[in-house]
Structures are given as structure tokens and as C-alpha cells.
Amino acid sequence: MAITITKLAAMKAAGEKIATLTAYDSSFAHLFDDAGIDALLIGDSLGMVVQGHSSTLPVNVDDIAYHTQAVARGCKNALILADMPFMSMPSLEKTLLNAATLMRAGANMVKIEGGQWLCETIQALVERAVPVCVHMGLTPQSVHLFGGYKVQGRSAQQAADFIAQAKAVEKAGAQLLVVECVPASLGKALSEALTIPVIGIGAGAQTDGQILVMHDMLGITPGKLPKFAKNYMAQANSIPDAIGQYIQEVRQGSFPSSEHIFNE
């Protein structure tokens, strides 16, 4: 059965956890889809894990569109999200054209990085039938502004600001929120404050769902894994077994455990 935005909202309302992964090609998309993954993200993370860059910044819309087409060919049921990469939103007109490119490539929703300043953009996209997921917290496209890959929202004031901005983007029409590298308490607070699903990556176990980069989940990322990631191949007999374990632990709420979360 195809997963829709309405289905994800119903899962949140029922207290059912949402399992999400990145995907970049048809073969892995097929494996993830067969295992019962709820959503797949063609992330600009492909710049690092597929193209070998040191950040996501070199990725362009054509790159995302190419990989979205590949994922869509291997996917029958999971919701497909496509990233709007660095500087793909320089103006409202260009934003709309780039979003249309990704939707035509097979995306069911686009993901954009930022906060309350995106509200006008969100409204314009939704008015034109483009569903929107907003990415907050550690947003990789802003890595140079942050001075590196650092946990966000640690102070009480920062947490309050995050919640206010999340409510604003929800009101503007966003139907999904991804929050990355924030204290677990903030991930929980965001999930409780919003009616739309909140998907965490390094945001604790009490968000409405989880997402991992597939290379991290399969233990094939070079070097040390991020704190929030878990190598499911370490105790699996096969790739399908590892995928199944990840989905099961997300559903049960046992991933992430205390070793994978950030505190204040």
C-alpha cells in the first residue's frame, strides 16, 4: 500500500513510529521498499556519500533529479522526498521551477532547509501543489555559518525559538519536519508542539520517527560514524536483515538509545 502524507499524519496520531532512510539508486530503493520503509529521502548527502565531496554544497538540482528518478523506479510504496540543494532557492520563481523539476523526476515532496523565513516560500509551493518538508536544527547547507557540524538548540532560549519557528512553518503549510542534531528534550518538545510528523536524526527517541543516511545504517561510511548513527550490519546476516532490524527498532522506539542522543 502506498504511503502518503495523510498516512504519515495518521501514524503520528496513532502513536506509530515512522521509519525513514536516504536512498540514491533503484536497487537499494527496491530493498528498502520491500522491507516496509515508510519514506525515502534523496538527500543532498549524496554529495558526500556518493560523490565523495567534503560537504553537501557541491550538489545541484540536476544531481538530485537524476537520483530521484532512479529511486522512483525502484520504489512502489514508500513516500519519496527530494532535497532542494544548496542555493536552489535564490528567488521565488527559481524555487518553484526547481521544485517542479524534482516533482517531475518522481518526488512526492520536497525538503527545504531553514526556519520561519521560509514561510512565504512554503505557502507558494503548497499553493502550487508541491508538498513541503522543512529541515531544521543542524542544516548541512549552513555548515559554514554554524562553524562546523554542531548540535543546535541547546539553550532554553534557542529551544523556545526552534519551537516558535516550527509552529510558523507548520502554519505556512509544511506537512513534515525533519530535525537534526538537537537535544532529545527539544526533539520531544517539537513533536508534542506540532500536529505534523517530526522525523528526527540525532534528536532523541521521542520524535514521531527517525531517519538515517543509508551508508551509516549499513556501516559503509568511511571513518567514524556520527554519534546519532548505528551500524545495523554489525549484527545482521544480510543487508535485508539489517534493514529489517532498523525498521523494527524505530517502530519499537528502541532506536535511538541513550548512546545515540544529545543532552542539553
The residues annotated as belonging to the active site are 180
Bridge partners for 180 per DSSP:
137, 201
Structure-block grid coordinates of residue 99 = 521544485
3-state helix, strand, coil in the chain (%, to 5): 45, 15, 40
Annotation-wise, does 44 bind a ligand? yes
Nearest residue to 198 (alpha-carbon basis) of 236, 162, 230: 162
Annotated ligand binding at 83? The verdict is yes
Query: Known binder of ligand: residue 76?
Result: no
Task: State the Cα–Cα distance between residues 121 and 125, nearest whole angstrom.
Answer: 6
Within 13 Å, how many C-alpha atoms sit on residue 16's CB side? 10
**Per the annotation, does 111 bind a ligand?**
yes
Going by the annotation, the residues of the binding site for 3-methyl-2-oxobutanoate are 44-45, 83, 111
Question: Which residue positions form the known binding site?
Answer: 44-45, 83, 111, 113
